[in-house]
């Protein structure tokens, strides 16, 4: 059997960030084979993850990265069990690696990041999860932008289209796109437009309002007008284009977009957005 030295253990620990005893055990098990020991530690990481699968992983971080030309963005939420681990450089670097992998290869990184995930689980002893990812590329003339809020607690991607290429470099257009990321982060819209809201959700809201008004004995036509008003307010809470602008609540997001379009002498449309909230 090979003589397992302190230097060998330290070298393995530096490369894997695993504990001293774990490194010693792995080297003994593999008779000093360094690469095989790394594999053992990774396998142990998988075992740790399986054992801790019932542990909730709601801490972590959301990261966003952009391609060099700024036309493709990636967003990733990586979770772990404790805030202590979530703040370590090792975990933060892993989460950034996941986000860069999404940018390079697409949203499904489960296979390409499998070994790295097992390694971070082994290093932390916690149930680390790549919870969700998103990748957004500009589909027409316009701009895509990301925003990370509260140190990685909320992440946003948005694509806004315009009709003219020169609008892309207009400062007012750039400010609009940035304001939209702030709006989405702060107001958490569930849908972009009211047409996206499922009919059964609208019907359920109407039933709630009907029950609230059932003792008022209002005529049917009056009741329907009240319901329309209630649903309009409902849309203003859950649909981005209907929401009051967080910087100027007297204006809706539609008003803000139309104002910018007029100032730029162009057509502007919010195409899509993604919002992640940590652990939600």
Confidence of residue 207 (pLDDT cuts 50, 70, 90): confident
Contacts of 269 by beta carbon, 8 Å cutoff, 6+ apart: 160, 161, 162, 257
Predicted local confidence at residue 47, as pLDDT: 66
Tokens of 20: 């001293």
pTM beyond 0.85: the answer is no
Q: What is the pLDDT of residues 65-107, one digit of tens each?
A: 999 999 999 999 999 999 999 999 999 999 999 999 999 999 9
Q: What is the pLDDT of residues 143-165, one digit of tens each?
A: 999 999 999 999 999 999 999 99
Q: What is the pLDDT of residues 262-278, one digit of tens each?
A: 999 999 999 999 999 99
* 135, 73 Cβ separation under 8 angstroms: yes
Separation of alpha carbons 102 and 69, rounded Å: 16
Q: Cα 125 from chain centroid?
A: 24
Percent of the chain with pLDDT over 70: 98
Separation of alpha carbons 28 and 5, rounded Å: 10
CB atoms within 10 A of CB 6: 9
The DSSP bridge partners found for residue 161 are 142, 269
Residue among 57, 54, 53 nearest 279 (CA): 57
Q: Collapsing DSSP states into helix, strand and coil, what is residue 130?
A: strand
Residue among 235, 73, 84 nearest 155 (CA): 73
């Amino acid at each position: 059997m090979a003589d397992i030295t302190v230097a060998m253990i330290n070298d393995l620990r530096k490369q894997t960030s695993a504990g001293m005893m774990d490194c010693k055990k792995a080297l003994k098990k593999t008779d000093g084979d360094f690469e095989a020991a790394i594999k053992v530690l990774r396998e142990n990481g998988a075992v740790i993850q399986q054992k801790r699968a019932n542990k909730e992983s709601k801490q972590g971080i959301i990261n966003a990265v952009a391609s060099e030309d700024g036309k493709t963005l990636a967003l990733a939420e990586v979770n772990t069990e404790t805030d202590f681990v979530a703040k370590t450089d090792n975990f933060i670097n892993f989460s950034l690696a996941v986000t860069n992998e999404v940018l390079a290869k697409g949203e499904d990184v489960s296979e390409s990041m499998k070994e790295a995930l097992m390694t971070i689980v082994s290093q932390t002893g916690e149930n680390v999860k790549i919870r969700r990812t998103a990748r957004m590329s500009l589909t027409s003339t316009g701009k895509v932008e990301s925003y990370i809020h509260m140190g990685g607690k909320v992440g946003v991607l948005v694509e806004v289209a315009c009709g003219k290429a020169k609008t892309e470099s207009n400062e007012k257009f750039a400010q609009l796109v940035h304001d939209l990321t702030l709006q989405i982060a702060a107001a958490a819209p569930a849908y972009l437009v009211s047409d996206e809201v499922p009919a059964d959700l609208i019907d359920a809201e109407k039933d709630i309002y009907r029950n609230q008004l059932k003792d008022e004995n209002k005529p049917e036509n009056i009741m329907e007008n009240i319901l329309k008003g209630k649903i309009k307010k409902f849309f203003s809470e859950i649909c981005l284009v209907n929401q009051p602008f967080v910087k100027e609540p007297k204006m809706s997001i539609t008003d803000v977009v139309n104002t910018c379009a007029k100032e730029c002498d162009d057509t502007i449309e919010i195409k899509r957005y993604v919002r992640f909230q940590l652990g939600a």
